[in-house]
């Protein structure tokens, strides 16, 4: 029975899910996952007036926004942190538009897009909840808000969830981890 088990990180699970339901999730079946450098380059093309340093900083802020599962139009975006400049939503929107046009995703999309897919598609969510009757999360102290939302969408009333973590061992607060 263990051969039917899946062992994945949150991000590898998100990639697996997006590759299984690309059209439903609105991505290309052959998407590439952009790393931080790719995201900075994409943002530089989407907003050429930004210097390389500004593009790097905004790409980091976009990644943090996605760690909270916040889209460019999310009302909470402006109040989540004082670091967001008034022009940030427009920059984030331009980045997302360019990213979607490329047919690719970034690391934040590996969590955000599955959250949206499961929240908006009852059939897919129900199918996955039947498939994953037990979910175990290790190093849960390093999960962020978006990962928590993904877990909430995946776990139904009949799902057994085991989360293991130690707040004293959290090392990813700078990436949005919240105990």
Q: What is the pLDDT of residues 40-61, one digit of tens each?
A: 999 999 999 999 999 999 999 9
Domain 2-27+110-175 has CATH 3.40.50.300: yes
Chain centroid to Cα 127, Å, comes to 21
Q: Which two tokens stand for residue 24?
A: 């439903």
Mean pLDDT of 58-85: 83
Lowest average pLDDT, out of 36-45, 80-89, 108-117, 159-168, goes to 80-89
Q: What is the mean pLDDT of residues 157-164?
A: 89
- Provide the Cα torsion 78, 176, 153, 62; round to 10°: 50
pLDDT, position 142: 76
Q: What is the pLDDT of residue 3?
A: 84
pLDDT tier for residue 28 given thresholds of 50, 70 and 90: very high
Helix (H, G, I), strand (E, B) or coil at 123: helix
Residue 79: what pLDDT?
65
pLDDT at 80 over 70: no
The structure's pTM equals: 0.88
Q: What percent of the chain has pLDDT over 90?
A: 68
At residue 1, the pLDDT reads: 76
What is the pLDDT at residue 5?
87
Buried b (16+ CB within 10 A) or exposed e, 17-30: bbeebbeebebeee
Under 8 Å CB-to-CB from 147, ≥6 apart: which residues?
10, 111
pLDDT value at position 93?
Answer: 95
């Amino acid at each position: 029975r263990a051969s039917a088990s899946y062992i994945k990180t949150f991000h590898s699970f998100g990639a697996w899910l997006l590759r299984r339901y690309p059209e439903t999730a609105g991505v290309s079946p052959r998407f590439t996952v952009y790393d931080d450098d790719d995201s900075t380059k994409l943002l530089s093309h989407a907003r050429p007036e930004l210097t390389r340093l500004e593009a790097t900083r905004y790409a980091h802020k976009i990644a943090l926004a996605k760690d909270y599962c916040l889209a460019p139009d999310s009302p909470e975006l402006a109040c989540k942190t004082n670091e967001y400049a008034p022009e940030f939503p427009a920059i984030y929107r331009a980045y997302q538009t360019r990213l979607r046009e490329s047919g690719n995703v970034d690391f934040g999309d590996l969590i955000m897009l599955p959250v949206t897919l499961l929240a908006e598609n009852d059939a897919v969510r129900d199918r996955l909840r039947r498939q994953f009757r037990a979910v175990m999360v290790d190093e849960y102290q390093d999960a962020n808000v978006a990962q928590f939302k993904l877990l909430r969408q995946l776990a139904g009333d009949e799902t057994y969830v085991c989360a293991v973590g130690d707040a004293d061992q959290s090392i990813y607060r700078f990436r949005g981890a919240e105990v």
